[in-house]
């Protein structure tokens, strides 16, 4: 490696430390180095463009991955993403996200795993091992303290050293010790220093203490200080735009502000990564059995669904006993399968709950009612009334689309040069099924002209000129126009967008449509009537892209729109009401005790409806357990304020995060950490601790094969104010047939009994209770253990 480095000029070396565009590093053919390509992210591999012509398998959201409590399955999900990366020419995947669920208000809650550092670390390590087994790198992100979005580029997060070591850093440490090849540093600062220049955490802790030998890449446009970042442990600044290195870093080295050995050390890391991922020297070799993306997405989804309530075994439903099933909710037809922001991909297909249930219940009348539509923007034009939907990019490239929504950052469809694209057109023929007032909508940025038939119904721009790019992307706007149309008479609908110079690499444009229909009150009445005449009512409720997304935090935990009212009315009309919650993060379920069953499905990925049908009908067991406490009332949440004061957010609660805080405050959540029901029952028979390993024997006492997540918690026998009342020490998943007993082993390493004080780890000697539990609030067996100093 050092020989290669010695062949490079200072300019060449520095060029390898910064993006040449949005997603890649430059090649240096002379030394056999190819361009190293990066791509988001946590649920799928987008590739360098977001083009609909190049879809990506969309797995369930990270909250769902964590809800499986199944590292083996998550590793397989990681292997699938490794496979997708290789297919798309991606060397470095910008995932997983291991910031913690400190508060459900975090807009990116769905993109993080859990409120518990151990569960987060185990799931993340499995993900990384899976991806990297195919010779594709990962970047565990965002180091550290990026647990909310408000003022994320500038906020300084104050975290005590103990909380950093015991709560926020362990997932990163776990991944580094599992062999992760990359870390992404966060936008925010920690204790006074921006993370991309944080020498203490990035150099001293990450690299020197943990022995991390991979690269630290900045979050996109996070690095702003040439010398500070160079001396602060950062290796790669991304992307090319507004990059503080390049020329400026060469000058800083020449001026003696940054030693050239520092540059060499970074280049060594970049080349080491390049060699690992096949961008330098031979490509990674090995036999990788091809995974079926849909099958993996389906399995993870079903395993992640958390059945939080199931009165009188309402679920699973018995198909033979059903004549008519009501499926209700806008999200039943248009499931929200992933969260907003950089984790977005375009899946090849999405199976909606209605489609999945309909397919699995042939011979049963599956009837649909919207009931409530929480989406603030109209859905994109699509479906049988639309024919010939096409997109034309400045007359240079055109392609068909299934729905009238476009979204990309970076590469353009057809690999067009953004400089050559000053506009686009989405057009199609619309033949209304019904007479009346059809509403069309435009959203995106730039200037638009919308025509319906002969009529121009909109001409204008939705944002003020000069609005910042990030805000354009993350705070979209919409304009609506109503047009009266006759059923069966086709009209041409054309949306033309004029794109400002230099902006074509970032597009997010939708032509929306809503047919004439009932108002909000009428929709609920219609749904309740349908439910009353059905054997069972399945209501799908959830959040929208305007509620859960990167770029902003949530302002409420309530379900948006009239969904609560819808559930109450449907449940009043039919006692067999099953509510399916389609949200990546906790939402309030004020009616939950009045419905027959509640299933949390997170953002379930592209196979959403198929997995849901399997779980509702008992083909598969809902395998999930809560990775995070679900509140009954927002005001009970330990942290409900993420607004910086004078640019600062202080994590005053220290190590009391998630259930540790709920317990300290003696508050009852709606559903405890670890909660989740299956379709069988379990008896916990025996627990003993042998040589630092807990051995737990359980028996399946129900009538069908099942899967149990055995959770092991540790409690100090003499509680004190300094430490949480208990914490997760480990877990194991087992499967067993009826009457079968199985024994699981869970290691209790030294760290379980340690705290961080005076710059080091210290074992807290004394008596502990080791608890084998079905959930935090459902302990089954307890043994005592004395730990020596
Ligand atoms: C996000 C990162 C992401 C990057 C590139 C940033 O805004 O915070 O998580 O990897 O964009 O898309």
Q: Name the β-bridge partners of 727.
A: 714
pLDDT for the residue 285? 75
Atom of ligand 1 nearest to the CA of 95: 10
| C-beta separation of 498 from 532 below 8 A | no
Statement: residue 355 has pLDDT above 80: yes
Atom of ligand 1 lying closest to residue 146 CA: 8
β-pairing, 189-190 with 156-158? parallel
Active-site entry in 156, 219, 235, 334 = 219
The set of protein residues with a Cβ atom below 6 angstroms from ligand 1 is 40-41, 94, 141, 219-220, 342
Q: Which atom of ligand 1 is nearest to the CA of 187?
A: 8
Q: What are phi and psi of 274, to 5 degrees?
A: -60, -40
Give CA–CA dist 345/462, Å, rounded: 24
Q: Which of 94, 96, 147 to mutate to test the pocket of ligand 1 (most atoms within 8 A of CB)?
A: 94
User: What are the CB-based long-range contacts (under 8 Å, 24+) for 258-266?
Assistant: 258/227, 258/230, 258/231, 260/10, 262/230, 262/231, 263/10, 263/13, 263/14, 263/17, 263/230, 264/2, 264/5, 264/13, 266/17, 266/215, 266/235, 266/236
**Residue 669 pLDDT greater than 80, yes or no:** yes
DSSP readout, 515-576?
A: -S---HHHHHHHHHHHHHTSSEEEEEEE--TTTSBTTS--S--SPSTTHHHHHHHHHHH-S-
CA of 56 to the centre of ligand 1 (A): 18
Q: Does the structure show a pLDDT above 90 at 286?
A: no
Strands 140-143 and 365-369: unpaired
What is the C-alpha separation between 772 and 769, in angstroms, rounded?
10
Reduced to 3 states (helix: H, G, I; strand: E, B; else coil), residue 427 is strand
DSSP helix, strand, coil percent of the chain (3-state; round to 5): 25, 30, 45
Residue nearest (by alpha carbon) to ligand 1 atom 8: 219
Question: CA-CA distance, 202 to 207, in Å (whole number)?
Answer: 6
**CA–CA distance, 317 with 615 (Å, rounded to integer):** 9
- Per-residue pLDDT, averaged over 184-206, amounts to 98
Neighbour order of strands in the sheet with 455-461: 397-400, 386-393, 423-430, 491-498, 447-452, 455-461
Cβ(74)–Cβ(68) below 8 Å = yes
Residue 54: per-residue pLDDT: 83
Q: How confident is the model at residue 203 (pLDDT cuts 50, 70, 90)?
A: very high
Which amino acid residue places its CA nearest to atom 5 of ligand 1?
220
779 CA to centre of ligand 1 in angstroms: 40
The segment with the largest mean pLDDT, out of 403-407, 475-479, 750-754, is 750-754
Nearest atom in ligand 1 to the alpha carbon of residue 142 is 9
Please give the distance, rounded to the nearest whole angstrom, from the Cα atom of residue 630 to the centre of ligand 1. 27
- What are residue 716's DSSP bridge partners? 768
CA of 250 to the centre of ligand 1 (A): 26
- Residue whose CA is at the smallest distance from ligand 1 atom 4: 220
The minimum-distance atom of ligand 1 relative to the CA of 239 is 5
Bridge partners of 328, per DSSP, are 369, 539
Average pLDDT of the residues in 461-465 = 86
DSSP per position, 330-378 = HHHHS---S-BSTT----S----HHHHHHHH-TTSEEEEE------SSP
- Do the beta carbons of residue 398 and residue 392 sit within 8 Å? yes
Q: Determine the residue of 92, 342, 506, 551 to mutate for testing ligand 1's pocket, defined as the one with the most ligand atoms within 8 A of the Cβ atom.
A: 342
pLDDT at 49: 73
Mean pLDDT of the chain: 96
What single-letter DSSP state applies at residue 165?
I
DSSP-derived letter for residue 620 is: S
According to DSSP, residue 177 is labeled: H
- On the question of pLDDT at 144 being above 80, the answer is yes
Please report the pLDDT score of residue 467 as a whole number.
Answer: 78
**Residue 409: per-residue pLDDT:** 76
Q: Which of 341, 549, 553 to mutate to test the pocket of ligand 1 (most atoms within 8 A of CB)?
A: 341
CB distance 130 to 685 below 8 Å = no
* pLDDT for residue 51 is more than 70: no
**Strand-pair partners of 506:** 409
Q: How far is the CA of 87 from the centre of ligand 1 (A)?
A: 21
698 close to 662: Cβ distance less than 8 angstroms: no
Edge-to-edge strand list for the sheet holding 766-775: 727-736, 706-716, 766-775, 778-787
- Tell me, what's the pLDDT at 183? 98
Query: Which tokens go with 49?
Result: 């463009």
Name which residue sits closest to atom 12 of ligand 1, judged by CA: 342
Q: How remote is the CA of residue 342 from the centroid of ligand 1, in Å?
A: 5
Question: Residue 265 has what pLDDT?
Answer: 98
Encode burial over 765-779: b for 16+ CB neighbours within 10 A, e otherwise. Answer: eeebebbbbbbbbeb
Q: Do residues 748 and 712 make contact, with C-beta atoms less than 8 angstroms apart?
A: yes
pLDDT of 50 over the 70 cut: no
CA–centroid distance, residue 187 to ligand 1 (Å): 10
Average pLDDT, integer, range 471-475: 72
**pLDDT given for residue 468 in this prediction:** 75
Which pLDDT score is estimated for 508? 87
Residue nearest ligand 1's atom 2 by CA: 219
Does an H or E element contain 76, and which? Answer: helix 71-87
Distance of alpha carbon 627 from alpha carbon 682, whole angstroms: 20
List of domains in the chain? 680-787 (2.60.40.10)
Residue in 634, 677, 654 with CA at minimum distance from that of residue 777: 677
Alpha carbons 242 and 240: distance in angstroms, whole number: 6
Average the pLDDT over each of 91-95, 128-132, 548-552 and give the range with the smallest value. Answer: 548-552
Separation of CA 626 and ligand 1 centre (Å): 26
The residues near 468 (Cβ < 8 Å, ≥ 6 apart) are none
Which of 550, 551, 552 gets mutated to test ligand 1 (max ligand atoms within 8 A of its CB)? Answer: 550
pLDDT tens-digit map of 87-115: 999 999 999 999 999 999 999 999 999 99
Strands (E), 204-356: 215-218, 306-310, 324-328
The CA distance from 631 to 594, in Å, is 17
Which atom, in ligand 1's list, is nearest to the CA of 409?
Answer: 12
Q: pTM score, two decimals?
A: 0.95
* Active site annotation includes 739: no
Distance CA(639)–CA(381), nearest Å, equals 40
Query: Distance between alpha carbon 767 and the CA centroid of its chain, in Å?
Result: 39
**pLDDT given for residue 504 in this prediction:** 87
Q: Which of 340, 408, 378, 242 is nearest to 552 (CA)?
A: 340
Question: Which is higher by pLDDT, 281 or 37?
Answer: 37
Residue predicted with more confidence, 693 or 418: 693
């Amino acid at each position: 490696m050092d020989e290669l480095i010695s062949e490079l000029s200072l300019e060449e070396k520095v060029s390898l430390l910064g993006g040449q565009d949005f997603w890649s590093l430059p090649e240096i053919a002379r030394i056999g180095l190819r361009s190293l390509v990066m791509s988001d992210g946590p649920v799928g591999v987008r590739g360098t463009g977001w083009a609909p012509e190049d879809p990506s398998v969309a797995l369930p959201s990270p909250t769902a991955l964590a809800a499986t409590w199944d590292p083996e399955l998550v590793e397989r999900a990681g292997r699938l993403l490794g496979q997708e990366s290789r297919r798309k020419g991606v060397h470095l995947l910008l995932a997983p996200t291991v910031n913690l669920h400190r508060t459900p208000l975090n807009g990116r809650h769905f993109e993080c795993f859990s409120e518990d550092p151990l569960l987060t670390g185990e799931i993340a390590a499995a993900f990384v091992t899976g991806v990297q087994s195919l010779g594709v790198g990962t970047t565990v992100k965002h180091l550290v303290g990026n647990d909310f979005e408000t003022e994320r580029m500038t906020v300084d997060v104050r975290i005590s050293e103990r909380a950093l070591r015991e709560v926020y850093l362990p997932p990163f440490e776990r991944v580094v010790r599992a062999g992760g090849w990359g870390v992404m540093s966060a936008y925010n600062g920690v204790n006074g220093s921006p993370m991309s220049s944080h020498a203490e955490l990035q150099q001293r802790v990450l690299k020197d203490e943990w022995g991390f030998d991979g690269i630290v890449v900045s979050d996109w446009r996070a690095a702003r200080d040439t010398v500070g970042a160079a001396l602060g442990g950062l290796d790669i600044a991304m992307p090319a735009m507004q990059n503080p290195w390049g020329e400026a870093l060469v000058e800083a080295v020449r001026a003696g502000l940054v030693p050239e050995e520092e540059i060499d050390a970074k280049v060594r890391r970049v080349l080491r990564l390049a060699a690992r991922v096949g961008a330098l020297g031979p490509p990674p070799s090995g036999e990788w059995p091809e995974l079926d993306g849909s099958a993996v997405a389906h399995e993870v989804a079903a395993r992640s669904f958390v059945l939080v309530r199931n009165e009188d075994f309402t679920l699973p439903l018995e198909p033979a006993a059903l004549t008519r099933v009501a499926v209700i909710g806008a999200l039943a037809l248009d499931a929200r399968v992933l969260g907003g922001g950089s984790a977005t991909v375009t899946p090849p297909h999405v199976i909606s709950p209605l489609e999945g249930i309909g397919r699995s219940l042939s011979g049963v009348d599956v009837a649909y009612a919207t009931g409530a539509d929480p989406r603030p923007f109209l859905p994109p034009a699509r479906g049988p009334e639309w024919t010939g939907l096409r997109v034309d990019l400045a007359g240079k490239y055109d392609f068909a689309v299934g729905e009238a929504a476009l979204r990309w950052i970076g590469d353009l469809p057809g690999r067009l040069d953004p400089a050559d694209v000053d506009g686009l057109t989405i057009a199609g023929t619309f033949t209304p099924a019904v007479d009346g007032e059809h509403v069309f909508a435009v959203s995106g940025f730039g200037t638009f002209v919308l025509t319906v038939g002969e009529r121009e119904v909109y001409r204008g721009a939705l944002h003020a000129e000069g609005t910042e790019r990030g805000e354009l992307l993350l705070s979209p706007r919409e304009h609506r126009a109503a047009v009266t149309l006759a059923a069966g008479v086709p009209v041409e609908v054309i949306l033309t967008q004029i794109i400002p110079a230099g902006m074509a690499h970032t597009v997010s444009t939708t032509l929306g449509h809503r047919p004439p229909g009932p108002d909000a009150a009428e929709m609920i009445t219609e749904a309740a009537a349908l439910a009353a005449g059905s054997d069972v009512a399945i209501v799908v409720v959830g959040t929208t892209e305007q509620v859960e997304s990167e770029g902003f935090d949530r302002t409420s935990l309530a379900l948006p729109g009239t969904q609560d009212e819808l559930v109450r009315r449907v449940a009043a009309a039919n006692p067999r009401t099953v509510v399916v919650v389609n949200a990546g993060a906790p939402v309030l379920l004020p009616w939950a005790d009045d419905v027959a069953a509640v299933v949390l499905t997170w953002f379930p990925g592209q196979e959403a409806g198929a997995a849901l049908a399997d779980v509702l009908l008992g083909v598969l067991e809902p395998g999930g357990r809560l990775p995070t406490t679900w509140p009954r009332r927002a005001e009970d949440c330990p942290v409900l304020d993420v607004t910086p004061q004078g640019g600062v957010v202080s994590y005053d609660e220290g190590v009391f995060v998630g259930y540790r805080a709920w317990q300290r405050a003696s508050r009852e959540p709606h559903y405890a950490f670890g909660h989740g029901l299956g379709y069988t029952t379990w008896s916990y028979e025996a627990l003993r601790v042998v040589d630092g390993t807990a051995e737990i024997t359980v028996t399946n006492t129900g009538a069908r094969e099942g899967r149990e997540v055995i959770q092991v918690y540790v409690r100090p026998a003499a509680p004190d104010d300094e430490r949480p009342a208990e914490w997760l020490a480990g877990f194991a998943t087992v499967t067993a047939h009826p009457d079968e007993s199985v024994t699981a082993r869970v290691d209790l390493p030294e760290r379980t009994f340690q705290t961080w004080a005076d710059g080091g780890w210290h074992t807290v000697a004394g008596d502990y209770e080791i608890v084998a539990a079905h959930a935090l609030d459902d302990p089954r067996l307890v043994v005592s253990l004395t730990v020596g100093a």
